[in-house]
Structure 1
Amino acid sequence: MKILVTSASSANGDGYGQLLAFSMDGTAQGVFSNDLRIVDPRGLRVHANQQLLYVNSGDDRILALDARGDIQYDTGHIPGLNAGGGNFGPDGRYYVGLRTERTIAAFPPDLEGIGTPILQRGIVPFPRGFAFAGDGTLFLASGVGPDGRGGNAILQFRFSGALRNSTFAADDTMSPLDLAIAPGGNVLASSEFPFGSPTAATSVREYDARSGALVRVLAPAGDVPFRRPRGLRFGPDGQLYCTAQDGVIAFDYESGRCLGVVVDHPRLNGQAMEFFGD
């Protein structure tokens, strides 16, 4: 099993612009795939069959890779796609946040076609992470974009795409980035507030799935670096992992205790992460 992290480049974070691999103990293993179609990668998600890894490339395309890093499916270049985060829905389709269109689109697992929008265009000023609950409810982070414009809220939708709650999270000190659903159904959000500030408060925040009330804040100890938190994933060990500016940190989800730095990699600037491989 490997820890895979997309590292942003240029305006998105001055990272490596590659999909990087690390062992479970944090040892760097280099680039997971050298395919030139992987450019400034963003969202990342493993298919339920554990055989394919879906990657949103900054080259306006979506790719599916096998465990060797070879491309199995490719949407081809879709002008203006500008894909952000990615996640699988309960219907088996691959869902992608579209930064320019400010909505979410769905693709079949074989990545045929140009995607089907499931929410109206412009539904939020800038889409960040999103996740599906077990009953199909969709939670979408409305965050601040690289240009400094946007909102700080989590929206709740029915699986049909109908808006259920435009202000789900009852928290005025949150600027959400990625989202994850906890084992008990609560909503987790990585947060940097105010977004982009060198003195921003960074944390992972947990919200009650029914009321949206803040349940608790997960934050590292003072000696653990945690700047620019982004991608959230639960690992095969049940712990919660979060990418950050120069690495990946882990939390014991049950207790909320920070377990420290798992990956220490200067200029990583991770955007999304996954666990993939044998």
Structure 2
Amino acid sequence: MQILVTSASGANGDGYGSLLSFSLDGTARGTFSADPRITDPRGLSVSANRRLLYVNSGSDRILALDAAGNVVRDTGEIPGLNAGGGNLAPDGTYLVGMRSARTIVAFDADLAGAPQNVLPAGVVPFPRGFASAEDGTLYLASGIGPGGEGENSIAVFDADGTPLASRFISDDALSPLDLAIAPNGNIIVSSEFPFRAPDAVTSIREYDRSSGNLVRVFAPPPGVGFHQPRGLRFGPDGHLYCVARDNVMAFDFGDGRFLDSVVHMPRLNGQAIVFFPLLAD
């Protein structure tokens, strides 16, 4: 098993603009795939059978890679896609956040055919991460965009895209950057509040799936660099991982303890994180 991280680049963060691989102990293994179609990558997701890795490329296309890093599926360029996060839905379709269109679209698992709108265009001012529960309920983080536009909330939709709640939570200390669903069904959100402020408070926040109430806050001890938190993922060990600027942080989800900075790489500028089998696994 390995940790894969997308690193943003250029005007989006002066990172590496690559899909990077790390051993579980944090040792850098290099670029997972050198395919030139992977540029300034963002969202990542792994198929249910663990054989395919879906990658949202800044070249306005979605790719699927095998364990050797070879591209085996490619949507081709889709002008204006501007893909952010990506997650596989319970029905196997691949959901992608479109930052410019302010919505979520779905691709068939084989990435053939045009994307289909899951939610209307402009459904939130700026999408900042989403996840689908087993019953199809879709939770969408609505955050602040690069130009300062947006809001700090979570919207909820049923499996048909019908709005259930425009503001699922009430938390004046939240500015969401990614969202995941925990094994207990609660909603986990990475946050930087106020967004891009020099003195922003960074944290990971857990909300009750029924009430939207804040349950607890995950944060490393003072002095541990935790800046620009983005992608969230639960590892095979059950721990909660968050990729951030220069680091990947690990927390014990059971008791909330900060465990370690399992990856440290200057200029990482991580956007998404997944765990993917090694070729020999």
TM-score, length basis structure 2: 0.98
Q: How does 1:69-80 map to 2 (within 5 A)?
A: 69-80=69-80
Q: How does 1:130-149 map to 2 (within 5 A)?
A: 130-149=130-149
| Structure 1 residue 170, shift from structure 2 partner | 1.7
Partner of 1:220: 220
Q: Residue 105 of structure 1 aligns to which amino acid in structure 2?
A: V
Q: Residue 89 of structure 1 aligns to which amino acid in structure 2?
A: A
Tell whether the 8 Å contact from 1:5 to 1:271 is kept in structure 2 after alignment: yes
Partner of 2:64: 64
Cα displacement string for residues 24-69 of structure 1 (whole angstroms, at most 9, x for unaligned residues): 0000011000000000000000010100000000000000000000
The 2-side partners of 1:133 and 1:6 are apart by 24
Partner of 1:114: 114
Q: CA RMSD in A?
A: 0.7
Partner of 1:128: 128
Partner of 2:11, secondary structure, is helix
| Structure 1 residue 133, shift from structure 2 partner | 1.2
Q: Residue 42 of structure 2 aligns to which amino acid in structure 1?
A: R
Partner of 1:155, secondary structure, is strand
The 1-side partners of 2:6 and 2:271 are apart by 6
Tell whether the 8 Å contact from 1:8 to 1:15 is kept in structure 2 after alignment: yes
The 2-side partners of 1:114 and 1:20 are apart by 28
Bigger CA drift: 244-253 or 145-154?
145-154
Same amino acid, percent of matched pairs: 65
| Structure 1 residue 223, shift from structure 2 partner | 2.6
The 1-side partners of 2:137 and 2:59 are apart by 30
Partner of 2:267: 267
Partner of 1:245, secondary structure, is coil
Partner of 2:195: 195
Unaligned runs of 5+ in 2: none
Find out whether 1:46 has 2:46 as its counterpart. Answer: yes
| Structure 1 residue 113, shift from structure 2 partner | 1.7
Tell whether the 8 Å contact from 1:12 to 1:146 is kept in structure 2 after alignment: no
Partner of 2:151, secondary structure, is strand
Partner of 1:10: 10
Cα displacement string for residues 248-278 of structure 1 (whole angstroms, at most 9, x for unaligned residues): 0100001000002000000000000000013
Partner of 1:23: 23
Partner of 2:76, secondary structure, is coil
